[in-house]
Amino acid sequence: MIYSKIEVKCGVLMYDYKESKKRVEEILNSELEIKHQKYLPESMKIEFDKGYYTWVSSIFIDIRDSSNLFKTTDDKKISKLSKAFISELIAIIRASDNLRLSRIVGDCACAIYTAPNPEDLKDLYEKASICNTYIKMLNILLKEHDLPSFKAGIGLGYSEVLLVNTARGEIDIDDKIWIGDAVIDACNFSSVANKDEYKEIVMSKEFYDNLAKINNQAKETFEMKHHPAYGEIYTGESLIPEFNKWIDNDFKD
């Protein structure tokens, strides 16, 4: 079955809503075949009538108060800031064999990774630390070039999610949705991080509990906070020592 295209010709809506109703009822009356997939292959095709439970980790990096920043700053300056912010962060978070999705949504960079083992969280935690250190460097360079500085929040999530395909036929879009806490938490926490009492990185309890077992530095750096909307979360500042030292030394070797 192929999705109908919506077109407007001479003021007439060219959309077969009767066929649409049939397609929707077919979906609502169907049974989704669900399987468990520990490791999610990069080239795995998700069929429309199947779903897969799989463990993933996720990162979202978001500029604080970006609406006000973009409204009060010259467009050319914002374009330079945005390009410097997004281009490098995307390069950092994409550098992983476990990457399964990366996106730029407005001023936010995000990624999802297959994470069949808790040990896989070490790599994402390091990426978050690199991103945090890079943002510190970027703000210094922005000031040197008479461009506005900014704050950014980094959110990390980890959970089992249900992966399903939402498109069929000839729809040319990314057809997968990830239903579960990992992506929602990372997205929500990126808007909480680096604001009020929360530091630059905020991670879920699931992420922290598994990371703390294999990374003493994270265990010592992050502290538990109770958020009124999200409950128990963990927040801290993590920088890459060598990178940070180079920045503090005015970029001198």
Give yes or no: residues 205 and 90 share one domain: yes
Give yes or no: residues 22 and 44 share one domain: no
Give yes or no: residues 109 and 201 share one domain: yes
Q: Which residues contact 173 (CB under 8 A, 6 or more apart)?
A: 167
pLDDT, average across residues 56-60: 98
- Burial of residue 90 (CB within 10 Å: 0-12, 13-18, 19+) is middle
Q: What is the pLDDT of residue 1?
A: 38
- DSSP state letter for 64: T
Give yes or no: residues 119 and 144 share one domain: yes
**Number of domains composing the chain:** 2
What does the DSSP assignment read for 127-140?
Answer: HHHHHHHHHHHHHH
Query: Does residue 7 register a pLDDT over 70?
Result: no
Query: Does residue 34 register a pLDDT over 80?
Result: yes
Q: Which residues contact 110 (CB under 8 A, 6 or more apart)?
A: 58, 59, 60, 61, 93, 102, 103, 104, 186, 187, 190
Give yes or no: residues 141 and 199 share one domain: yes
Residue 98 identity: N
Give yes or no: residues 8 and 99 share one domain: no
Sign of CA pseudo-dihedral 70, 174, 15, 23: negative
| pLDDT tens digits, one per residue of 152-200 | 999 999 999 999 988 765 555 557 889 999 999 999 999 999 999 999 9
Better-scored residue on pLDDT, 210 or 13: 210
Specify the CATH number for the domain of residue 164.
3.30.70.1230
Q: What is the pTM of this model?
A: 0.89
Place of tokens 């300056």: 77
CA dihedral 166, 44, 35, 102 (to 10 degrees): -60
Kindly report the number of other CB atoms within 10 A of residue 164's CB atom.
19
Q: What is the pLDDT of residue 44?
A: 76
Better-scored residue on pLDDT, 107 or 235: 235
What is the CA angle 104-246-146, rounded to 5?
60
Give yes or no: residues 208 and 129 share one domain: yes
Does 253 fall in a domain? no
| pLDDT tens digits, one per residue of 101-110 | 999 988 899 9
At residue 160, φ and ψ (nearest 5 deg) are -85, 135
Does 190 fall in a domain? yes
| Residue closest to 55 by CA, chosen among 167, 206, 205 | 206
> Of the given ranges (33-37, 52-56, 95-99, 227-231), which has the lowest mean pLDDT?
33-37
Give yes or no: residues 123 and 165 share one domain: yes
Give yes or no: residues 167 and 233 share one domain: yes
Q: What is the pLDDT of residue 153?
A: 97
Q: Which of the four pLDDT bands, split at 50, 70 and 90, describes residue 4? A: very low
Does 235 fall in a domain? yes
Task: Give the domain range for residue 170.
Answer: 32-248
Give yes or no: residues 11 and 76 share one domain: no
For residues 215 and 113, give the distance between their C-alpha atoms in angstroms, rounded to a whole number.
Answer: 19
| pLDDT tens digits, one per residue of 120-147 | 999 999 999 999 999 999 999 999 999 9
Does 209 fall in a domain? yes
- DSSP state letter for 77: H
Better-scored residue on pLDDT, 31 or 121: 121
Give yes or no: residues 56 and 177 share one domain: yes
